[in-house]
Amino acid sequence: MNLSAVALTACGGGGSSTNASLPAGCQQAAKPKPKRVSLEPPTARVARSAQLEAVISTSCGNFTIALDAAAWPKTVSSFVHLARKGVYNGTAFQRIVPRFVIQGGDPSGTGRGGPGYTVTERPPPSTQYKHGTVAMVKTAVAPPGESASQFFVVVATDSGLPPNYAVLGRVSSGWDVVNRIASLGDPSTGDAGTPTATVAIRKVAVRPR
């Protein structure tokens, strides 16, 4: 999978979904209405010692991300800020590429939206994006480590992506839910990753772990 595979300009989030043949554990969900968000970056930073997790509540169930503030304090701080501002509530996974990634966090629903700001935390050359890694999306032209609100979960054994994407953490529980979501990508749409059904993100809650 090439570099542009998770770039905002190649996510195909504007396509429609059919809501047909949902797997057990998923509920029918209406396509969320676009939200316009314009926020300032967070003024406070999460401590590197903070042990936090994010519970992603979706129409296919809940999964949890263990946030890696020790290695990625700026990225985690921004994500926590956005979650607490409700940016992720009432959005959807707008891009699902089978056996590669599931991608969400765009308030506009187009695959090109964001919160009105970006942060940058450059990944070290050793960064890898393997099964369970949760990282932040960037545009194809943005510098390594730049992120806004969109994130992706790697469902491949190894995505093969270069060290260009800021890491948020890892999936720590709820793999049955992640796999349900990953099954709802249309293989015929390739890297565009058009979902076959709407998977709503109802709420993202950050809490101590």
Q: How far apart are CA 142 and CA 157, in angstroms?
A: 26
Question: CA 206 → CA 23, 41, 65, 67, distances in Å?
Answer: 27, 18, 9, 9
Confirm if 93 and 203 have CB atoms less than 8 A apart.
no
Structure token pair of residue 81: 């800020």
The pLDDT-based confidence of 12 (bands split at 50, 70, 90) is very low
- In sequence order, the 6+-apart residues with CB closer than 8 A to the CB of 42 are 77, 78, 80, 81
What ranges do the domains of the chain cover?
3-14+47-208
Report helix, strand or coil for 181: helix
Confirm if 194 and 17 have CB atoms less than 8 A apart.
yes
User: Around Cβ 124, how many Cβ atoms within 10 Å?
Assistant: 8
Question: CA 35 → CA 44, 90, 108, 202, distances in Å?
Answer: 25, 9, 5, 14
pLDDT at site 21: 82
Q: How far apart are CA 99 and CA 117, in angstroms?
A: 30
- Report pLDDT digits (tens) over 84-121: 999 999 999 999 999 999 999 999 999 999 999 999 99
The DSSP bridge partners found for residue 203 are 57
- Architecture (CATH level 2) of domain 3-14+47-208: Beta Barrel (2.40)
* pTM (2 d.p.): 0.92
pLDDT at site 5: 43
pLDDT at site 114: 97
Answer yes or no: is pLDDT of 184 > 80.
yes
pLDDT at site 31: 95
Answer yes or no: is pLDDT of 78 > 60.
yes
Question: CA 2 → CA 139, 162, 187, distances in Å?
Answer: 13, 9, 17
- Report pLDDT digits (tens) over 20-53: 589 999 999 999 999 999 999 999 999 999 999 9
Answer yes or no: is pLDDT of 18 > 80.
no
Q: What is the mean pLDDT of the chain?
A: 92
Residue that has been written with the tokens 């990953």 in this structure: 182
Answer yes or no: is pLDDT of 146 > 60.
yes
